[in-house]
Chain A
Amino acid sequence: MTDNPSDNLLRKILTETKVIALVGVSMNSVRPSYFVARYLSLKNFRVIPVNPGQAGKTLFGEEIYASLADIPKDITVDMVDVFRRSEHVPPIVEMALAELPDLKTVWMQIGVRNAEAAAMAEAKGIQVIQNRCPKIEYQRLYGELRMGGFNTGIISSKL
């Protein structure tokens, strides 16, 4: 569990992750969860949207499920990205641990932190990232934020 994961760890997660269940996705195009879902889909992650209020609808070509438990078992979710308030995280992680056998990473968005949920996931050998955004980390690590004048921390003399 860390608020300060190394760049190597973030790169490893973002390279090895193929399917992300995005809990708390919004259909409102100015909401961060919509931004992130769209962005990660464009970067060839398979994003499975989860939101009980929107279940059955489709977002970026994927059906929206009411909960992690409703995601068909043939979809091998390896990361859960949580867009819910910190206090709502434990039951989500509990369900993820119970229902997603291929889960490798629990990721909590900017402003979301829950020590209890993190400890629960880590006890099962799951990598936990808190208070970060996978979209922003992807943009930072792979050169895109550089175009906006952000401090990427990337120094390299390679092409």
Chain B
Amino acid sequence: MTERPAFGFETLQIHAGARPDPATGARQTPIYQTTGYVFRDADHAAALFNLQEVGFIYSRLTNPTIAVLQERIATLEGGVGAVCCSSGHAAQLMALFPLMAPGRNVVASTRLYGGTLTQFSQTIKRFGWSATFVDFDDTDAVKAAINDDTRAVFCESISNPGGYVTDIPVIAEIADAAGVPLIVDNTTATPYLCNPIAQGASLVVHSTTKYLTGNGTVTGGCVVDSGKFNWSASDKFPSLSQPEPAYHGLKFHETFGELAFTFHGIAIGLRDLGMTMNPQAAHYTLMGIETLSLRMQRHVENAQEVAQWLEADPRVEYVTYAGLESSPYNARAKALYPKGAGALFTFAVKGGYDACVKLVDSLELFSHVANLGDTRSLIIHSASTTHRQLSEEQQIAAGAAPNVVRLSIGIETAADLIADLDLALTTATA
């Protein structure tokens, strides 16, 4: 055998990007807690600054621990490269930054994490960018929303909080026909359940804070590039296809080919926006990713069991989990996410807003936390917290109506989670 067969996901989640430390032989990836790196000589320094060689310059740009995490996520997602940054929100800006300019827009799904809706509807306006929100099940509306100033299409694979599953191949085709990249936030599905790039996405973003790290310790984000988008096919992406004045006139796409977006993310994005991940965070996230497949299997098993129990309970109005036969997205989830529809869903409590608040207060095992993707099961009343800045109409569109609570199902004993919900529902609906 001269060529080894492709490695499996479980092997890559442990080995990709890492090798024994060349200086010490340390088998686990060391935490390189340093800001600067010594250059071999003036020529080496010049080559690094000119991007003629790849190496470590300064930890705002690159760091050996973070580089291992970047390669690992890029490998698991099937991309050519990845840039890590300080949070999932930072990753979204890092993904949009090379594409956008004043007057340009992103066409985004209405079903997004509340914080993203606010970032896109309000904050990016200060850069002169804008977002157009559309129902991504209405493909004609998506096509109609894309105009000459559109530079990206954005959605989540399994949306937070609603249990909605985006038909990525269909949306990718629309974006492709319009000559703009599709960016998919794959935080809630993880590369174990979903590979947006294999389904046609050009870029993938993550909040690594969630399942990738897995136990609620550190915040982080990541942008993965598929390497497949042709930045030079039109004049829409001058920062990648034309001489970039912020890097002495370098043409990123011509110089780096399919690696252009990742080089741009380091050389312009991290250099000038500075939303850098720290090596400690990368270490915790690397530890988490080593067990990603095992945890995700248990997360989806538990989610399925809890969702089925809730659906059968008379105190519950409805459950939005794509893994349930009753979900309008069940067939799509089975086709696109054969290993499971994630572990994040909502349910509506009979008794509305007040019962929701009481339920959250009555749980002993579920934690009332504004996070998801933890080993611990979490609950939050989105309407009064994560989606609070939105109008009721926007809350409903995002799947965060006032009578709904969101669960992030952990990897505890499923029967214990059900017992906790059972007791709290009794109190809440008494």
A residues at B contact (CB < 8 Å): 6-8, 29-30, 32, 35, 38-39, 42, 110-111, 133, 136, 139, 143-159
B residues at A contact (CB < 8 Å): 2-3, 7, 11-12, 15-17, 19-20, 22, 25, 43, 47, 50-56, 62, 64, 66-67, 69-71, 74-75, 79-84, 243, 248-251, 254-259, 262-263, 266
30 pairs across A/B with beta carbons < 8 Å? A7-B3, A8-B3, A30-B243, A30-B248, A38-B47, A39-B47, A39-B52, A111-B257, A133-B257, A136-B256, A136-B257, A144-B53, A145-B54, A145-B81, A145-B259, A146-B67, A146-B71, A147-B54, A147-B64, A148-B70, A150-B81, A150-B262, A151-B16, A151-B80, A151-B81, A154-B19, A155-B7, A155-B16, A159-B19, A159-B22
Counting chain B CB atoms within 10 Å of each CB, which of A110, A143, A147 scores highest?
Answer: A147
User: Closest CB-CB distance, A158 to chain B, in whole Å?
Assistant: 7
Task: Find chain A residues with CB under 8 A from B80 CB.
Answer: 150-151
Residue of B nearest to A42 (CB): B47
Task: Find chain A residues with CB under 8 A from B83 CB.
Answer: 149
Counting chain B CB atoms within 10 Å of each CB, which of A35, A151, A159 scores highest?
Answer: A151
* Separation of A133 and B257 alpha carbons in the complex (Å): 9
Is A148's CB under 8 angstroms from B67's CB? Answer: yes
Residue of A nearest to B74 (CB): A151
Residue of A nearest to B48 (CB): A147
Is A149's CB under 8 angstroms from B71's CB? Answer: yes
Is B11's CB under 8 angstroms from A151's CB? Answer: no
Task: Find chain B residues with CB under 8 A from A152 CB.
Answer: 17, 71
Task: Find chain B residues with CB under 8 A from A159 CB.
Answer: 19-20, 22, 25
Is A149's CB under 8 angstroms from B66's CB? Answer: yes
* Separation of A147 and B22 alpha carbons in the complex (Å): 13
* Separation of A41 and B105 alpha carbons in the complex (Å): 44
Is A148's CB under 8 angstroms from B254's CB? Answer: no
* Separation of A29 and B74 alpha carbons in the complex (Å): 30
Task: Find chain A residues with CB under 8 A from B263 CB.
Answer: 148
Is A30's CB under 8 angstroms from B54's CB? Answer: no
Task: Find chain A residues with CB under 8 A from B251 CB.
Answer: 30, 32
Task: Find chain A residues with CB under 8 A from B52 CB.
Answer: 35, 38-39
Counting chain A CB atoms within 10 Å of each CB, which of B19, B75, B82, B84 scores highest?
Answer: B19
Counting chain B CB atoms within 10 Å of each CB, which of A29, A150, A158 scores highest?
Answer: A150
* Separation of A7 and B4 alpha carbons in the complex (Å): 10
Task: Find chain B residues with CB under 8 A from A156 CB.
Answer: 19
User: Closest CB-CB distance, B389 to chain A, in whole Å?
Assistant: 33
User: Closest CB-CB distance, A40 to chain B, in whole Å?
Assistant: 10
Q: A133-B257, A145-B54 are in contact. Are A150 and B71 (CB under 8 A)?
A: yes
Is A155's CB under 8 angstroms from B53's CB? Answer: no
Residue of A nearest to B76 (CB): A151
User: Closest CB-CB distance, A43 to chain B, in whole Å?
Assistant: 9
* Separation of A152 and B251 alpha carbons in the complex (Å): 23
Task: Find chain A residues with CB under 8 A from B56 CB.
Answer: 147
Counting chain B CB atoms within 10 Å of each CB, which of A133, A144, A146 scores highest?
Answer: A146
Q: A148-B62, A156-B19 are in contact. Are A32 and B255 (CB under 8 A)?
A: yes
User: Closest CB-CB distance, B202 to chain A, in whole Å?
Assistant: 15
Q: A148-B263, A149-B81 are in contact. Are A30 and B249 (CB under 8 A)?
A: yes
Task: Find chain A residues with CB under 8 A from B17 CB.
Answer: 146, 149, 152
Given A30-B251, A148-B81, A149-B84, 13 further pairs, Cβ under 8 A: A8-B3, A30-B243, A30-B250, A32-B254, A110-B258, A136-B259, A146-B19, A147-B54, A150-B81, A151-B74, A151-B82, A159-B19, A159-B25
Task: Find chain A residues with CB under 8 A from B55 CB.
Answer: 144, 147
